[in-house]
Structure 1
Amino acid sequence: MDTDGSDELMAVLLGQSAPDPGDAPAAARYDAARRDMTELREQLHLIGDRLAAPDGAQGTLTPSRPRWVRKGPLALAASVVIAAGLAGTGILWSVAQPSGEHGDAKLGREGMMACARVVADGTVSRKERVGGLVRVVLTVDRYLKPDRGPRETSFVVPGEEADYFRPGRPMVVIVSRFPGEPVDSFTGEDRATAWQWMSAALPASRTLECTDPG
């Protein structure tokens, strides 16, 4: 039996289905691997943007949640892929761009927007435990997707992220349409920059289909 997550990592990399929900440890490892691969893809895209930017325009922008805190095969795989990405933009281009002949949204900023259920800027107003998860309520100042929405929107995050989503904290969030996908958030000065690139990516995202997570 695999106990370090390597089998689940390979399943995510190969696009295989999740394990039997009855096998709780394997299902948890699969979900963790899927979350980390989503974050890895996002990091690769951001690295690609920096490499492709003109000299003097290479700012930094990453989602505000701490990343790559787990150790083991997945962290090693992430390090290898990021190192390969830094070796040349050609590798990054093939990994970080939407693929397929039918315009399916998989990766990249337009893909993130196409697969988003909610993109909003606001302030965390409250949170509550729901089993091992945390339901976060955001008081919204403005929506990007959908165009308009209620004064409050909510989403669910893993219990270990509860301290990050503290009441009173302003942030921009991207909530996937797929349950179980990580919520990307931007805080501080990154909020304005994130809103800018999200707004720029929104028109093209409307031409993409999003049928699968990641």
Structure 2
Amino acid sequence: MSGNGQGAGEADEALSAALADAPPQASAGDEAHRAYAAARADVDLLRTQVRLIGDALAARPAPPAERRPRGRRTALAWCLAAVVAGVAGIGGVVLARDAALGGDSAVGDAKRTLEGVVACASDIAEGTVREVTPTGEPGDLRVVMDVDRRLKPAGGAPRLAFTIHIDDDHDDVAPPPEPGSRVLVMVSVLPGEPVDLYEGAADIASARAWMEKALAASRGLPCESDTA
């Protein structure tokens, strides 16, 4: 009994640290680092699902602003209690999303799941930013990166170019990546869908973890728009 209580306490501590972006010190044991990495992956999954819920409830395409992990601490309070209490993990969030959409699983198309998001990705790549230049459109920047790791498609070109949008009207929008920065990006085939861009070793590792899992489950899934 005491062992179970101790394990739950350690899990709660790891979750709290992940939410605060406070990784264990280098002197902490391997178990602490593994628990933190697992908690970070869970938190990123929850944040992504919450964003998808918001997009679905808004009944409109996602706004043309890049979704970035830094500073993403909004809309999590309602689901955090469920996580700490051990309510079915990510499955609990999926159920909450379906309930918010009316409780009918038929309305939850592929685009509203992590697997569906990945199915709609043309490129999922990791590498180093080579250049960032204005496109001439307000807020739009063209990013070119040297790719050294591709999740989708397998193989692919060693260089990837995409456009991100920075909305200066919102204070919580992270600045664009700088040349030399290491990033993980997911580019959608859907028109107007913003690029998911992750920076920093911890954010990249946790995003890569859920993307790899969703990629395996997305094989054979069609790409469906929220508005389809």
Pick closer, same or farther for the CA change 1:196–1:126 going to 2, 3 Å: same
SS at match of 1:112: helix
Pick closer, same or farther for the CA change 1:34–1:198 going to 2, 3 Å: same
* TM-aligned CA deviation for residue 87 of structure 1: 5.1
Q: 1:141 aligns with which of 141, 148, 152?
A: 148
Q: 2:136 aligns with which of 126, 131, 135?
A: 131
Alignment of 1:38-49 (within 5 A): none
Q: 2:123 aligns with which of 118, 121, 124?
A: 118
Matched with 2:187 is 175
Amino acid aligned to 1:106: K
Aligned counterparts of 1:14 and 1:195: Cα–Cα separation in 2: 27
Question: Share of identical aligned residues, percent?
Answer: 38
Pick closer, same or farther for the CA change 1:136–1:213 going to 2, 3 Å: farther
Amino acid aligned to 1:85: C
Aligned counterparts of 1:64 and 1:140: Cα–Cα separation in 2: 20
Scaled by the length of structure 2, the TM-score of the pair is 0.55
- Higher relative CO (Cα under 8 Å, sequence separation at least 6) belongs to 2
Two-structure CA RMSD over aligned residues (Å): 3.6
The aligned length equals: 155
Matched with 1:211 is 224
* TM-aligned CA deviation for residue 183 of structure 1: 1.4
Aligned counterparts of 2:108 and 2:222: Cα–Cα separation in 1: 6
Alignment of 1:8-157 (within 5 A): 13=57, 15=59, 34=63, 63-67=68-72, 79=75, 82-86=76-80, 88=82, 89=87, 92-96=93-97, 100-101=105-106, 104-132=109-137, 133-157=140-164
After superposing on structure 2, the runs of 4+ consecutive aligned residues of structure 1 that deviate more than 6 Å are: none
Aligned counterparts of 2:125 and 2:226: Cα–Cα separation in 1: 20
Q: Which runs of 5+ in 1 are unaligned?
A: 1-9, 16-29, 40-62, 69-77
Aligned counterparts of 1:134 and 1:14: Cα–Cα separation in 2: 26
Matched with 1:195 is 208
* TM-aligned CA deviation for residue 12 of structure 1: 6.7
Amino acid aligned to 2:79: G
